[in-house]
């Protein structure tokens, strides 16, 4: 009854006059142990209130059933959905998640990676911070053959899988859509091109312009953190242009910037989509609240997280081999809404 002393397999062993080895095996349903003693062990464990000690187990067996998750920020709709998906997949297979955020700071990312390594996570799920240049800080993982899966913000690497969408294609298609609506002066609000997602969205946007013989102007490409403020600033930028030089459409690399740009332009009296059409990216909840509803790209956070985690776990369980899979690309459909439908009346 003493509160501090832990109940161990030795207590169960003593109680049943068997060895700790037998108890250990019995608890793990090892077929080596007879059905009857296995039952007795389980019953006694229940009776004594035994709780397995994960450390002791991890120390010896060299596996933790824990996955590390390293993200730039936790509090965005996309990211929290992705993590929800991961948690669901992990939980389903008996894994736990250790989560840390880099807050877009490489140094913190490095420290967090080191911590995860020290905690001996069985695998790592990572989305890079905006200013990460190399992934040398992940070397310890590669060296020790700890599987790494990149998601969303990817880095090409031979020994890991990248889970995401075809950003190029999505951006290309949404730009094409704007062009099909009669827009010819399309501006792009982009993120740091150090990150593949923003680089690819920029590329898709530019290629669509070129393919439709529209000019690619540097003035129409604004780079920012895609924050609310960035959206508002972009609106200011547009309003400061001479009226005849203003874009007739904006494609933003996320919904937040798009929405706050729209809000400011609406305040200034511009009509959407008549004066200026809008398209975003992510299908964030705010895109369905803004008036008019924002055309965007469905970025399936939850299933992306679920897929990434499941892929990692399958590798750990030996069901599949991660090293053979270079990339997993999820479907990311266009969600056409009123913010870009200039031809609505005609149709």
Partner DNA sequence: CTTATTTTCGCAATCGGTTGCGTAAATATC
Partner DNA sequence: GATATTTACGCAACCGATTGCGAAAATAAG
Residues found near a copy of itself in the complex (CB under 8 A):
3, 51-56, 58-59, 64, 66, 73-77, 79-81, 83-84, 87-88, 91, 96-101, 103, 108, 112, 114-115, 117-120, 140, 143-145, 259, 263, 285-286, 289-291, 301-302
Per the CB < 8 A criterion, the answer to whether 300 and 330 are in contact is yes
96 binds DNA (CB under 7 A): no
Find the shortest distance in angstroms from Cβ 195 to DNA. Answer: 35
Alpha-carbon gap, residue 217 to 186, rounded angstroms = 9
Alpha-carbon gap, residue 280 to 284, rounded angstroms = 9
140 binds, among DNA, a copy of itself, none (CB under 5 to 8 A by kind): a copy of itself
32 binds DNA (CB under 7 A): yes
Both tokens of 198, joined, read: 């923003």
143 binds, among a copy of itself, DNA, none (CB under 5 to 8 A by kind): a copy of itself
Cα dihedral: 244, 246, 248, 254 (round 10): 180
Enumerate residues 144-173 that contact DNA by CB under 7 A: none
Nearer to DNA, 61 or 134 (CB): 61
Nearest to 70 by CA among 138, 136, 133: 138
Fill in the per-residue mask, 50 to 89: x = in contact with DNA (CB under 7 A), - = not in contact.
xxxx--xx-xxxx---------------------------
Residues whose CB falls within 8 Å of the CB of residue 229, separated by 6 or more in sequence, listed in order: 260
Nearer to DNA, 2 or 75 (CB): 2
Alpha-carbon gap, residue 208 to 340, rounded angstroms = 16
Alpha-carbon gap, residue 115 to 204, rounded angstroms = 37
327 binds, among a copy of itself, DNA, none (CB under 5 to 8 A by kind): none
17 binds DNA (CB under 7 A): yes
The angle formed by the CA atoms of residues 229, 235 and 241, to the nearest 5 degrees, is 140
Residue 7 DSSP symbol:
P
Nearer to a copy of itself, 206 or 293 (CB): 293
**Which stretches of the chain bind DNA, using CB under 7 A?**
6-10, 17-22, 24-25, 27-28, 31-38, 50-53, 56-57, 59-62
């Amino acid at each position: 009854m003493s509160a501090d002393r832990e109940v161990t397999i030795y207590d169960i062993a003593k109680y049943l006059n068997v060895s700790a080895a037998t108890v250990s095996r019995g608890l793990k349903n090892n077929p080596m142990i007879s059905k009857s003693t296995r039952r007795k062990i389980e019953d006694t464990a229940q009776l004594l209130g035994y709780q397995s000690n994960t450390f002791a187990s991890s120390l010896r067996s060299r596996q933790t059933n824990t996955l590390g998750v390293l993200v730039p920020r936790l509090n965005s709709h996309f990211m929290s959905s992705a993590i929800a998906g991961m948690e669901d997949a992990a939980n389903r297979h008996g894994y736990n998640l250790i989560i840390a955020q880099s807050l877009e700071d490489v140094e913190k990312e490095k420290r967090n990676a080191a911590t995860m390594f020290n905690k001996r996570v069985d695998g790592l799920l990572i989305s890079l911070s905006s200013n990460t240049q190399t992934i040398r800080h992940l070397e310890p993982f590669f060296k020790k053959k700890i599987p790494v899966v990149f998601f969303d913000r990817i880095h090409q690497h031979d020994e890991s899988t990248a889970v995401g969408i075809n950003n190029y294609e999505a951006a290309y298609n949404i730009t094409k859509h704007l062009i099909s609506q009669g827009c010819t002066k399309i501006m792009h609000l982009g993120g740091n091109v150090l990150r593949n997602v923003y680089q690819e969205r920029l590329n898709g946007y530019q290629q669509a312009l070129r393919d439709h013989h529209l000019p690619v102007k540097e003035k129409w490409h604004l780079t920012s953190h895609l924050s609310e403020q960035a959206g508002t600033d972009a609106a200011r930028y547009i309003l400061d242009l001479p009226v005849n030089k203003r874009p007739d459409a904006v494609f933003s690399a996320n919904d937040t910037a798009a929405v706050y740009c729209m809000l400011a332009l609406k305040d200034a009296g511009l009509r959407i989509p008549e004066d200026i059409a809008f398209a975003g990216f992510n299908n964030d909840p705010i895109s369905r609240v803004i008036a008019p509803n924002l055309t965007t790209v469905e970025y399936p956070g939850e299933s992306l997280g679920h897929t990434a985690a499941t892929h990692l776990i399958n590798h750990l369980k030996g069901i599949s081999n991660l090293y053979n899979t270079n990339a997993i690309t999820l479907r990311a459909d266009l969600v056409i809404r009123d913010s870009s439908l200039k031809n609505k009346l005609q149709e």
